[in-house]
Each structure stands twice: as C-alpha cells, then as structure tokens.
C-alpha cells in the first residue's frame, strides 16, 4: 500500500503591509497595545486590488513544485482549501489548474473555513492510500479575507490578512500520514462568517442596499476559550490514534490566530514553546493558509529544525465550528 508523504512546501505573502499603527489611524483609537498583548499580531499583509485567491495559490504552488523538482503536469489532483474563493462557483481549484497548466489534475475545493487545509491534507492522504491513479497531489490553502473586510470594524480589521500556502503530497514507500481526526460544533455555524452571497441571503440589490457588500463578521458570541478548551483533547486523541505520545511529537502547528492561545495549549500539553512556531506577529491571521505558511516559514528560517523521522501535528479550527487534526512523519 502506498503511503502519503509531504515532500515540499511553498508560500506567498502579498507585498502591501498594514501595521497596527495604520489601524490606529483608521479606527481612531489605539488597537496596537491590545493586539500585541492579547493576540500577538503586529502587522498583516493585504493583497492588491487586482489579485485573487487563485493568484496567490498559484504563486505558492509554483514554489512548492520547484522545490519538489516537479512540473505542473505531474499533478494528479489539486485540492484548494479556502472560504474566500474566486467565485461562489466554479471551484477555485479549477482556476488554479488552468493558471498552473496542470492539465492532468482533477480539481475541487474544500470549505470548512480555517480548518479546511488540515481537512484537505487528510483527504489527500486517504486518496493516495486508496487510489493508485493518484500519486501526486497539491494541497493548497488560500486566504483573501481582506476583500471581505470593513476596515472600520475593529473586531475583524485587526485580525484578518491575505496569503497562500501549499504542499505537495506524494505516494511513497514509508508512512508519512499517521492519523487524522475531524470534529465540529455545528451549533456555532452562525457565529462567525460571511453570511451574504449564498442561498441563505443572496447578494441581491435589495440585500446589498440594506446590509452592504458581503463581509466577514462576528454575529453571535461563542466561548472565548473555544480553542483552549478543544485543542488539547483533540491533539491528545489524534496523537494516541497514531500510536504515539505527546513527547514523541517534534512540532505542533496550530491555527495562527492567537499566540496566547497557543501558549496556553502548549502548557496544557506539557510541551515547550520551542516545539511550536508562529507567524501571526508579522503576517496576521491567514485562515486556511496559516498552517502551511507557518510550516514553510519554519523550514526556511530553520532548515534543520525538522529531521527525517520527526513527528508533526497539525491542528486547526474554522468557523462552523469545524476542527481538524492530523499527525505526519517527516520524510524529507
């Protein structure tokens, strides 16, 4: 049986920077101090007016392909994880296929908000294990949430940013993927999201005139400690499912929204902060792209940090509230 292995990574971060000081001026109040102390974000990057989610994914994917010494035509499948697609329909993965020239690849999108990339990675592993036609899969996360921001809403403008991350998953003869677990708390589906533009509230002229263009917003309260409460048991469960202990894990990568949450979870797991990595301080919150971008950043900054045979945990939460975790053995 073939095994799924991560063989390369790539990322794309837009050029334009919006600092906390910029937001102070836009919002007319000091948000910088609170953001640094409570979240860990200092600045974020914003896509250009003429950039799309697919553009960012293509840039990240090309980097991953070059590092894997592959051509786009080597791809058998493209899975795009995003809740900021180019269009409501068709799938952004098809746009990526066309722009890359990956003419041999099947395509589809996964949308479980910010948990989508870890979910897509889990799907890719299962395809490789069960379908001999699928040997090389691109799993990309793209986030263009600033297109859906109200820059005068301090609860969202301070957090969200843009970017893309990608990995190449390929069939190999030794286990890479070890275990995965998906859970959700669907009662919070109406708490955070973009609630205009779908069948629930179509973006008709009347709706847009009343509510404005589709935008991301916090609508209903959910527990502030949601991730702090749910990540530790999820991580423990998926690590046990892989037949490992927490001390066997070399790297834990979490949704990159709040550094204080990551600090709390690592303490709860009795693991040192040296076994995790974060990027929200310089790139803001990248949603479904944040974990592959964090992985790529770690490998670029510390190329010897992960060694062959090391075990890695990915753990994510997205609106919905969908959660996903998986355990991988590093084989590069």
Topology match between the domains 3-174 and 179-185+220-329: yes
pTM of the prediction?
0.96
What does the pLDDT look like over 163-211, one tens digit per residue?
A: 999 999 999 999 999 999 999 999 999 999 999 999 999 999 999 999 8
Could you state, in order of their start, the residue ranges of all structural domains in the chain? 3-174, 179-185+220-329
Distance CA 113, CA 16 (A): 24
Is 3.40.47.10 the CATH classification of the domain at 179-185+220-329? yes
DSSP structure string for 21-34? HHHHHHHTS--HHH
Distance CA 315, CA 291 (A): 8
pLDDT at 332: 86
Distance CA 242, CA 325 (A): 11
- CB neighbours of 109 closer than 8 A, spacing ≥ 6? 79, 80, 81, 82, 85, 91, 92, 93
List C-alpha distances in Å: 218 to 83, 110, 123, 159. Answer: 15, 22, 29, 12
pLDDT at 221: 87
Specify the CATH number for 3-174; select among 3.40.47.10, 3.30.450.40, 3.30.499.10, 3.40.190.90. 3.40.47.10
- Both tokens of 265, joined, read 């979870």
Alpha-helical runs (H) found in 159-256: 205-211, 226-241
What does the pLDDT look like over 249-302, one tens digit per residue?
A: 999 999 999 999 999 999 999 999 999 999 999 999 999 999 999 999 999 999
Residue 10: beta bridge partners?
Answer: 166
Residue 81: beta bridge partners?
Answer: 110, 141
């Amino acid at each position: 049986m073939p095994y799924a292995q991560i063989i390369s990574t790539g990322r794309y971060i837009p050029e334009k920077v919006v600092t906390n000081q910029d937001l102070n001026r836009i919002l007319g109040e000091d948000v910088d101090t609170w953001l640094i102390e409570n979240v860990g974000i200092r600045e974020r990057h914003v896509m250009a007016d003429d950039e799309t989610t697919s553009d960012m994914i293509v840039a990240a994917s090309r980097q991953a392909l070059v590092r894997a010494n592959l051509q786009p035509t080597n791809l058998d499948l493209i899975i795009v994880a995003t809740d900021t697609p180019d269009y409501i329909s068709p799938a952004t993965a098809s746009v990526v296929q066309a722009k890359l020239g990956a003419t041999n690849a099947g395509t589809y999108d996964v949308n479980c908000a910010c948990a989508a990339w870890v979910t897509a990675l889990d799907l890719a592993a299962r395809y490789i294990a069960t379908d001999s036609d699928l040997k090389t899969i691109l799993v990309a996360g793209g986030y263009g949430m600033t297109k859906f921001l109200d820059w005068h809403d301090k609860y969202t403008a301070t957090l969200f940013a843009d970017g893309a991350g990608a990995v190449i998953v390929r069939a190999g003869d030794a286990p890479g993927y070890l275990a995965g677990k998906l859970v959700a708390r669907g009662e919070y589906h109406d708490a955070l999201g973009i609630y205009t533009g779908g069948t629930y509230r179509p973006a008709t002229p009347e709706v847009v005139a009343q509510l404005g263009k589709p935008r991301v917003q916090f609508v209903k309260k959910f527990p502030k400690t949601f991730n702090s409460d749910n990540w530790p048991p999820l991580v423990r469960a998926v690590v046990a499912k892989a037949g490992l202990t927490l001390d066997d894990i070399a790297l834990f990568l979490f949704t990159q929204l709040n550094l204080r949450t990551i600090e709390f979870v690592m303490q709860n797991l009795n693991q040192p902060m040296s076994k995790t990595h974060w990027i929200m301080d310089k790139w803001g919150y990248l949603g479904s792209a944040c974990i592959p971008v964090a992985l790529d950043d770690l490998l670029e900054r510390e190329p010897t940090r992960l060694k062959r045979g090391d075990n890695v945990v990915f753990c994510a939460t997205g609106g919905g509230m969908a959660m996903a975790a998986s355990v991988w053995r590093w084989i590069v």
